[in-house]
Amino acid sequence: MAFNIWEDITIECNGKIVTGTYSVSDWMITVKIEGGRAKSAQLGNRPPKTLAESLLRELAETTD
């Protein structure tokens, strides 16, 4: 039985603190924020946390 480990992540976006969680599985990273919204991307050359911060920023900007 496989399971994902979710890590907490926090960024500042447009003057607001935004929190979420991210997980890496099978070369994919998924970021979730409160309210159930999520965004995924394929891992590339960037470190997972850096990519997670970028995805979290995209989610935060589409929420405003």
Each residue's pLDDT tens digit, 9-55? 999 999 999 999 999 998 999 999 998 999 999 999 999 999 999 99
CA 48 – CA 18 distance, rounded (Å): 18
Which pTM value belongs to this model? Answer: 0.89
pLDDT at 6: 95
Length of the chain: 64
Taking the alpha carbons at both ends of the chain, their separation in whole angstroms is 38
| Closest-CA residue to 10 (of 22, 24, 26, 1) | 22
